[in-house]
């Protein structure tokens, strides 16, 4: 078969391929045919591998192409964007030095709108918001895709004003742009604005998708508007022909739990058209703990422990902690002790809490119980935290939630351990390492405990600082003694 015909033959096969395994077999045949370095076929393969989420094979093809053109570079950058590794595109970017997006971009012989857009999107989706912002500013023209990526990135990092400005500057908005704006608002506690944006999208003629409804339901959950949430859930299929997914039902479960409708919450978990997993049972357990519903809490905890036993849930001991706190809060200390013993007997280990804060472009990480003596500014941090603790005691603003500490030690020792929680250490560092009035931005790998939540509200009040904490559940915007979550998370 002539070379040109063979190339056309493979072009058709590549375009028809629907899975990475068959594409890899086809790639092998192309190599065997002597067309392994063909630039046109290579660009198609990179693009197809990227569409299928396989950036590793895409990069192999990219390396095999001897004379790369702008489409080779753009396709490779696009493959990184479409990568869906466990930790997102960021892992793919950082795995090898030559996979860093900026060096690839800088080596390009020419840069078009596609390559600029892909660079912005790649960095935004990978969590490199600063790099994405720099590239976005440098873009000759801001396209819809790049602007949408920035709206989402700003939302993920709590920069809601920047997200709003970018969204408002867009001349053309599709459903993806509208949903990014809704999500940015809902994730950051701007719930009324999220719902308003949804209705503005409808007025603009946008057909809402499942992502739009996820944000609206999340906003309803934060606001505790049960009837409105139910109406939106029903209207998905009846008015907009969008079938509710498991995530939509889980948000409704969370909404009922937040509103104190624990029985309705449990009924929905058992009746929804999806098998309830750890998220559903954790929502029910959290609601039961908040509203003192012992029966529902025990049933939810038992389900979570079953899932953990079958390897379907790796909660790091979270259900045990919440159940023990539920018993302790109800004065059932013998039952709380039984839960603690069960943890010990089953070898359940509580996941270690880590918080990070960026100061001067450097990430500073703190773990629960860290020895501050080993930190260059440890003495200053300890002094600042002791000063704040004294102020709270003198003003009698709150009683420490020692129930959060499961160790069998005295009350005063439990109080001391609470002040060693990772977010407090990170906040203490931020207070001594930045000028007065500077906003502090904390990222935490686990849920904020009740005591730390109360303390952070107090710190925001007395220091006149805005403190943003992103935990495993949501964003908490602390300002002037209040939190955007309205004390339910």
C-alpha atoms less than 13 angstroms from C-alpha of 293 in its C-beta half-sphere: 22
Q: For 338-381, what is each residue's pLDDT tens digit? A: 888 887 787 777 778 899 998 877 889 999 888 888 888 999 99
Question: Does residue 181 form part of some domain?
Answer: no
Q: Establish if 238 belongs to a structural domain.
A: no
Asked whether residue 441 is assigned to any structural domain, the reply reads yes
Q: C-alpha distances in angstroms, 446 versus 316, 379, 403, 421, 449?
A: 10, 26, 17, 11, 9
Query: Does some domain include residue 296?
Result: no
The pLDDT of 454-481, averaged and rounded, is 90
Strand partners, 362: 359
User: Following DSSP, what letter does each residue of 458-469 receive, concatenated?
Assistant: HHHHHHT--EEE
Does 464 reside within a domain? yes
Higher pLDDT, 91 or 306: 306
**Mean pLDDT, range 439-467, rounded to an integer:** 90
In a domain, 327, yes or no: no
The residue out of 127, 144, 173 marking a domain boundary is 127
- pTM score of the predicted model: 0.67
Regarding predicted confidence, which is higher, 488 or 448?
448
pLDDT band per the 50, 70, 90 thresholds, residue 221: very high
End residue of a domain, out of 96, 127, 158: 127
Q: Which of 65, 98, 127 is the last residue of a domain?
A: 127
Average pLDDT over residues 274-280: 91
Q: Which domain holds residue 59?
A: 1-127
Residue 158, in any domain of the structure: no
Q: Which stretch of 51-60, 90-99, 127-136 has the lowest confidence by average pLDDT?
A: 90-99
Instruction: Evaluate whether residue 86 is within a structural domain.
Output: yes
* Alpha-carbon gap, residue 47 to 13, rounded angstroms: 14
61 burial level (CB within 10 Å; 0-12, 13-18, 19+): buried
133/128 Cα distance (integer angstroms) = 9
Tokens at 86, concatenated? 């466990």
- Report how many domains make up the chain: 2
> What residues does 365 pair with on adjacent strands?
356
Predicted confidence band of residue 1 (pLDDT cuts 50, 70, 90): very low
pLDDT at 305: 83
* Two tokens, residue 364: 């500073």
């Amino acid at each position: 078969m002539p070379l040109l015909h063979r190339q056309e033959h493979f072009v058709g096969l590549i375009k028809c391929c629907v899975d990475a395994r068959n594409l890899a077999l086809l790639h092998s045949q192309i190599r065997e045919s002597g067309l392994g370095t063909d630039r046109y076929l290579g660009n198609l393969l990179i693009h197809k591998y990227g569409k299928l989420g396989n950036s590793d094979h895409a990069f192999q093809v990219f390396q095999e192409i001897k004379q790369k053109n702008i489409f080779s570079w753009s396709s490779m950058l696009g493959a990184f964007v479409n990568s869906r590794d466990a930790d997102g595109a960021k892992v793919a970017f950082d795995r090898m030095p030559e996979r860093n997006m900026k060096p690839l971009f800088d080596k390009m012989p020419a840069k078009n709108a596609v390559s600029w857009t892909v660079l912005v999107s790649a960095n935004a989706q990978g969590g490199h918001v600063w790099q994405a912002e720099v590239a976005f500013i440098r873009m000759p023209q801001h396209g819809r895709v790049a602007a949408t990526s920035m709206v989402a990135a700003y939302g993920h990092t709590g920069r809601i004003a920047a997200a709003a400005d970018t969204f408002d500057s867009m001349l053309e908005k599709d459903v993806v742009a509208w949903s990014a704006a809704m999500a940015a608002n809902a994730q950051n506690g701007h719930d009324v604005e999220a719902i308003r944006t949804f209705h503005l999208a409808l007025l603009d003629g946008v057909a809402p998708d499942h992502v739009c409804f996820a944000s609206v339901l999340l906003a309803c959950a934060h606001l505790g508007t049960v009837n409105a949430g139910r109406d939106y859930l029903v209207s998905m299929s009846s008015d907009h022909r969008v079938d509710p997914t498991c995530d939509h039902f889980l948000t409704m479960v969370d909404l009922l739990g937040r509103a104190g409708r624990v029985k309705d919450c449990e009924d929905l978990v058992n009746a929804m058209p999806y098998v309830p997993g750890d998220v559903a049972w954790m929502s029910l357990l959290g609601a039961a703990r908040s509203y003192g519903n012992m029966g529902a809490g025990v049933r939810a905890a038992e389900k979570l422990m079953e899932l953990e036993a079958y390897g379907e849930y790796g909660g790091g001991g979270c259900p045990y902690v919440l159940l023990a706190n539920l018993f302790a809060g109800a004065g059932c200390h013998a039952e709380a002790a039984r839960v603690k013993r069960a943890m010990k007997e089953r070898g359940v280990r509580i996941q270690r809490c880590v918080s990070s804060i960026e100061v001067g472009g450097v990430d500073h990480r703190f773990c629960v119980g860290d020895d501050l003596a080993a930190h260059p500014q440890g003495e200053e941090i300890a002094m600042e935290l002791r000063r704040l603790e004294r102020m709270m005691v003198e003003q009698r603003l709150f009683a420490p939630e020692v129930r959060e500490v499961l160790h069998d030690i005295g009350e005063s020792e439990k109080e001391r351990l609470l002040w060693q929680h990772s977010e407090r250490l990170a906040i203490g560092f931020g207070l001594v390492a930045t000028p007065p009035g500077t906003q502090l931005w904390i990222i935490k790998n686990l849920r904020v405990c009740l005591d730390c939540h109360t303390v952070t509200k107090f710190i925001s009040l007395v220091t006149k600082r805005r403190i943003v904490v992103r935990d495993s559940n949501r964003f908490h915007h602390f300002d002037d003694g209040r939190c955007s979550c309205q004390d339910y998370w």
